[in-house]
Chains A and B, each alone.
Chain A
Amino acid sequence: KQEVTQIPAALSVPEGENLVLNCSFTDSAIYNLQWFRQDPGKGLTSLLLIQSSQREQTSGRLNASLDKSSGRSTLYIAASQPGDSATYLCAVKDSGGYQKVTFGTGTKLQVIP
């Protein structure tokens, strides 16, 4: 059974700092890994999708990496801004069985002005 863990559960940083969020998964047989952002009371906004054959994806100030063999992904946020404050979730899609999508419990980020 796939298990997805995100550390830390919460993070508070001053504005302008670069930061890294971590996601680990137990079963490396995956199709892809997706990072989402969730604002309070809102749905999920897709940030980056990394295919299993890819090592990283970039969008603006965001860079996500994937090391499938070690079961790890990181989301790097450069020059953080108060508007980046949200909960960040990673989700992996298994390549076997039902291609089930399993989410982590998220990292709650607060960027202090």
Chain B
Amino acid sequence: EAGVAQSPRYKIIEKRQSVAFWCNPISGHATLYWYQQILGQGPKLLIQFQNNGVVDDSQLPKDRFSAERLKGVDSTLKIQPAKLEDSAVYLCASSQGQVNTEAFFGQGTRLTVV
């Protein structure tokens, strides 16, 4: 079974530039999550999708971050414009359902904003 795929693995951009990350979840997984992990901290949930609908985006900085999951499969997370404090690893995860199902994570995208 293929795992959660993310790209790119690394990205370096200047502040005020825009950037986009891509995630392809495990086939058949209805729930998709985007997390932000700042160095030395645990992952923080940014947004959760159930199929192509948003379940929770309460911690997503909506003035600069956006995410979509068209057709309920793969997803993109965009930051525009980026700030220095956005430097982090962005993790995508998927699970079969919302409740009591195991979450599987991709390898993440390490973003450095300079």
Contacts and interface: CB of A to CB of B under 8 A. Distances in A.
The answer to whether A binds B is yes
A103 B103 CA distance: 13
Interface string A73-97: 0000000000000000101010000
A43 to B, nearest CB: 4
Contact of B42 (A4, A32, A51): A4
Contacts of A36: 105
Contacts of B42: 4, 89, 91, 103-106
A34 B103 contact: yes
Interface residues of B, number: 27
A42 B107 contact: yes
Interface residues on A, range: 20 to 34
Contact of A46 (B41, B98, B103): B103
Interface in B5-30: 6
A51 B102 CA distance: 10
B40 A105 contact: yes
16 contacts: A31-B99, A43-B4, A43-B106, A43-B108, A44-B43, A46-B104, A91-B43, A93-B99, A98-B48, A98-B58, A101-B45, A101-B103, A103-B35, A103-B43, A105-B41, A105-B42
Given A34-B103, A99-B56, 13 more contacts: A31-B100, A42-B108, A43-B6, A44-B43, A44-B93, A46-B102, A46-B105, A91-B42, A98-B56, A99-B98, A103-B35, A103-B42, A105-B42
